[in-house]
Amino acid sequence: METFEKIFPNLYAYWYKFLNNCLATFQMFIISGSISFVLGLIFGVLLIVFKKDGIKPNKVFYTIISVIINLFRSIPFVILLVFLIPFTRSIVGTAIGVKGAIIPLIFGTVPFFSRQVETALENVDPGKAEAARSMGSGTFGLIFRVYLHESVPELIRVTTITAISLVGLTTMAGAVGAGGLGDFAINYGQGLNHQDIIYACIIILLIFICLLQFIGSLLAKKTTNRELFKHAQKDSVGNPENKS
Res 12: pLDDT: 92
What are the tens digits of pLDDT across the range 114-162? 999 999 999 888 888 888 888 877 888 889 989 999 999 999 999 999 9
For residue 110, give the DSSP letter. Answer: H
Q: Span 159-185, mean pLDDT? A: 89
Phi and psi based region of residue 194 (left: phi greater than 0; alpha: psi -120 to 50; beta: remaining): beta
Q: Give the HSE-up count for residue 74: Cα atoms under 13 Å, Cβ half-sphere.
A: 6
Domain boundaries, the chain: 2-233
Q: Span 23-31, mean pLDDT? A: 94
Averaged pLDDT of the chain: 88
Res 119: pLDDT: 93
CA distance 221 to 211: 15
Residue 232 CB neighbour total at 10 angstroms? 11
Phi and psi based region of residue 177 (left: phi greater than 0; alpha: psi -120 to 50; beta: remaining): left
pLDDT at 70 over 70: yes
Q: What is the CA radius of gyration of the chain?
A: 22
Instruction: Please choose, from the candidates 211, 183, 208, the residue with its C-alpha nearest in 3D space to the C-alpha of residue 198.
Output: 183
Q: Which CATH class is domain 2-233?
A: mainly alpha
Res 44: pLDDT: 95
13: burial class by Cβ within 10 Å (0-12, 13-18, 19+)?
A: middle
Res 221: pLDDT: 92
Res 225: pLDDT: 66
Q: Span 29-52, mean pLDDT? A: 95
For 65-85, the DSSP string reads HHHHHHHHHTS-HHHHHHHTH
Residue scoring higher pLDDT (39 or 2): 39
pLDDT at 110 over 60: yes
pLDDT at 236 over 80: no
Q: Span 217-241, mean pLDDT? A: 66
What are the tens digits of pLDDT across the range 189-205? 988 899 999 999 999 99
CA distance 182 to 161: 20
Instruction: Please choose, from the candidates 120, 119, 137, the residue with its C-alpha nearest in 3D space to the C-alpha of residue 128.
Output: 137
Highest mean pLDDT among 14-23, 127-136, 138-147, 230-239: 14-23
